[in-house]
Structure 1
């Protein structure tokens, strides 16, 4: 763990933010709940992050910043979101700067980097419109060509940070005839606009992330100079969709942070609350619920971390992978939060009391993440449209293709290996069917077979992992057969059955990611990870909705997972396959080397 330098920034940020249970810490639970009650923007917290220079880690090194790794990025956004998704989301609208790093001129990149570093600059994404939602091509906002630039007209709504941002990425129609190339993308610098030619729409009252500036922006014959356009005229839709590939994956970090706090605060309660002469955690049903929640963290970690690293290795495959990770991880972790509130009981509904009422805030805030940057339906539909090419590509694999897949899998999944520089210009709208994670499953099965000769591998665990991995392969073969024999057609009117099949594909993808992660990191991520009992339970949990399997697995495995959950809770480490250190209270620091107590003997 200490060798993984990509987690050092998150640990440093954690230490300086302090324990969120301490009311005096930056972004403490007490503070963020109070601001949420007031529906107030978290100005002080956002400014603290700017002063910490966190914005530098949104800017690539070759543009004058510190960004080198999406894995590092996901880890620190997780730290923000476990405290407050309002602040995390408000600050992280800066990830839309990747549109400029991807398509901007050198001058545009220089200008934006300076704006972010030197002016504490924020930005927003103005794509959606009141009447059209995710149907971007149908949008009514226009950019009419005039000498020296364009005239913008129309409204974008709802837009996060529409009012509190200096730069707005506007998708506007430059060709009134319509079609896929009717849109262009503009990096609109408000400081260079005539203030009488644009206006902001009122803040929207929302169920969660109440302090966010969820509003809108309108333009009325607003002149923008030509140097605000990104890339060529007519490439707006392509840039927008490629940008979504990046942000859909990054949205998972918000979910991981919220789910961590939901589980942690519920465990606080389960350890201290006594019923019928024992703690809530000693009662089998709530104990199992918390174990399953921890497993959800681990299996989602395998998908998220691999995707973060995959951007650097196989950016051309993210027309598939971004949809998979955005759908599966955000929905699975949203379900986690909904599942554990049963253990918390009525306290999940309290706006104060237990841990300052942070659970109900996380519950509300997190419910929007699966909708951000493309809803579940949008992501599943994007995946469905690529089914035919996925199946065809898998069918034509040969020895040379498999050799390439194996080399890439090692770079993606071995966390000790460095990843190459992210090359956004290699993103593709359609990846031609390549999906290394599932198409390399036979490689993983061969590696599992080779582990039989390893003395440090439990043969029973290995047998169960192999058996479940073979189930994944069987289900993948069934998927291929269904698609190959179907009357599949492109378009928006896909059947409910295909949407269910897309959900299944996402589950199989995550199961394969779990297997790859274990194979490549057994010697890296500690004894609990290496034993693999968590993997058996995780694969069983993923596959159970799609395949008739035994109702439960080995109870001893579940108990060992419970012990690890309690150890991480006691030491205040991330509920993760990479359990990096969270900020500690003074009491916790004094007990860092203490032996496990109480419930570890349960």
Structure 2
């Protein structure tokens, strides 16, 4: 498949900004959706075995341990790298939630492809967008717009881990600049990166001022100062190019410093929240593909019924995906609307969504396995690959530890200052198509004991209180909302007496409290998104999906859930089958897919 880059530039170009904010936002979002649809069409039918960008071809490249070269060339031709560069620097990045929409066609097919092609360049360049000098921002933008890649060499965030434990040390030189020493063994795209963004220790003392960020040009470094280490095989994302770097008395110029000396930890805490929201937001698309494969597996013919024994797992995983998308979308939108207050939610979404998706994959494996599909078969390929790829993508144990390191220290402060006191967030947070500010990395803040989503949960429950006596789905939705408020009330009582020393970070009982709190955040997002519907999508405006999603979240917390009203699960299943037959995605957008 070949396409003229010039034709693609014309097809994917963002129109000029209209005069008013509302029309500007609508026009821009429409342009983003056109780019996503165009990319979906160019990548072709993922189930077609002859498609060079289909699941069979991508799984074959993965089994060989190679990046899918032909698909990477296609993504380069589309100018997809421009999506990672803020618009003020010549790219197309305006909001994180819109970026997720553009990237989902890629991640719907292959999580490793999305990481290997370029999303890691966004993660690396985040510190530059947040604190870089005008020259650093200009050069980084030009590099990425020209198809170059940046690799992130970051420090330990939570605790020792195979990917996190190595550390680099930058020693200030009397004449200016630094001398860089140390090694990092597992870096994506280190072998082919055009820039390194290094989080290096610049102070021997522990604390928030211990690290600084350096922006390095590999071509400008002396050959004797840096050595590329051999490639490291990984159990998942096997086509990803992971290797290491070793620095030995490597001189680094003074203008390589990003921001101020000792600002590395702060920059990481501020900018990593974009990563924590974005990865779950695009991982939803990968789970969507597995769900569609499962529906295909149990459909004897395209218009035939689904056997009754598969109703519960299929409808349940569909509801979970909608819950995951609700939480991820709200978190992504908060980065624009409430950038100084999104830090806690970012950690919660990075913790909850991967766990829900992993549980969903386990349920779908029983559906696919019962149909006689074997591991490694084309029908099972997307499931096999996603199960391997999710942990390596930062969604495994190390990711959970980093999220707990954010949430646990905040629990007592939230209980004392925020829960049942904070004001609800603006309704635009939950409304698709609402006008939002652009994402500005410079405005991102660090947790300050403010929880706007729990305030939204309390508000939703209050608005649904009157429905609790009317019976049916609305009554159950009101009961579930109140049950999560009761959970938050119990959390407040327990968290208000937590110790304030560092031992709480590793106390299993406290970690469990952070787990329970994160699930209440998911429930709040589901209710907020349901309330924010304008009626354009009749299914999302109906309470059935929210009831099923909340009942499953409640079950994970051990909350007693009444018997679901007749038709709730069937209503959700019918929508899933309808979308499958119509070729629509299983997320909140219900966008048209290539098939």
Partner of 1:421: 438
Partner of 1:238: 266
> Which aligned pairs between 1:4-153 and structure 2 lie closer than 5 A?
5=30, 6-91=32-117, 92-96=119-123, 97-118=125-146, 120-128=147-155, 133=160, 140-146=167-173, 147-153=175-181
Q: 2:195 is matched with which residue: 167, 180, 187?
A: 167
Q: 1:435 is matched with which residue: 424, 441, 451?
A: 451
**Consecutive unaligned residues in structure 2, runs of 5 or more:** 1-25
Pairwise CA distance, 1:558: 0.5
Partner of 2:495: 483
Q: 2:526 is matched with which residue: 500, 514, 522?
A: 514
**Does structure 1 residue 281 correspond to structure 2 residue 297?**
no
**Does structure 1 residue 466 correspond to structure 2 residue 490?**
no
Partner of 1:581: 592
Query: For this pair of structures, how many residues does the alignment match?
Result: 564
CA RMSD after TM alignment: 2.8
Counterparts of 2:484 and 2:504 in 1: how far apart (Å)? 29
> Which aligned pairs between 1:562-581 and structure 2 lie closer than 5 A?
562-581=573-592
> Secondary structure of the equivalent of 2:567?
helix
Provide the TM-score with structure 1 as the length reference: 0.88
CA contact (8 A) 2:281 2:325 kept: no
> Secondary structure of the equivalent of 2:232?
coil
CA contact (8 A) 2:504 2:510 kept: no
Judged with a 3 Å threshold, the aligned counterparts in structure 2 of structure 1 residues 44 and 199 are, in CA distance, closer, same or farther, namely: farther
> Secondary structure of the equivalent of 1:152?
strand
Pairwise CA distance, 1:60: 0.9
Counterparts of 1:332 and 1:71 in 2: how far apart (Å)? 20
CA contact (8 A) 1:262 1:359 kept: yes
Partner of 1:229: 257
Pairwise CA distance, 1:69: 1.5
Pairwise CA distance, 1:542: 0.5
> Secondary structure of the equivalent of 2:204?
coil
> Which aligned pairs between 1:201-600 and structure 2 lie closer than 5 A?
201-272=229-300, 281-284=306-309, 286-345=310-369, 349-354=374-379, 357-371=381-395, 374-394=398-418, 397=421, 402=423, 405=424, 408-429=425-446, 431-448=447-464, 460-491=472-503, 493-524=505-536, 526-550=537-561, 552-584=563-595
Judged with a 3 Å threshold, the aligned counterparts in structure 2 of structure 1 residues 85 and 131 are, in CA distance, closer, same or farther, namely: closer
Judged with a 3 Å threshold, the aligned counterparts in structure 2 of structure 1 residues 327 and 188 are, in CA distance, closer, same or farther, namely: same
CA contact (8 A) 1:320 1:435 kept: yes
Partner of 2:226: 198
Judged with a 3 Å threshold, the aligned counterparts in structure 2 of structure 1 residues 452 and 541 are, in CA distance, closer, same or farther, namely: closer
CA contact (8 A) 1:35 1:211 kept: yes
CA contact (8 A) 1:171 1:185 kept: yes
Provide the TM-score with structure 2 as the length reference: 0.89
> Secondary structure of the equivalent of 2:187?
strand
Judged with a 3 Å threshold, the aligned counterparts in structure 2 of structure 1 residues 319 and 491 are, in CA distance, closer, same or farther, namely: farther
Counterparts of 1:303 and 1:131 in 2: how far apart (Å)? 23
CA contact (8 A) 1:163 1:200 kept: yes
Judged with a 3 Å threshold, the aligned counterparts in structure 2 of structure 1 residues 539 and 281 are, in CA distance, closer, same or farther, namely: same
Query: Which deviations, in whole Å up to 9, do the C-alpha atoms of 1:502-530 show, x marking residues without a partner?
Result: 11111111101111111111423x11111
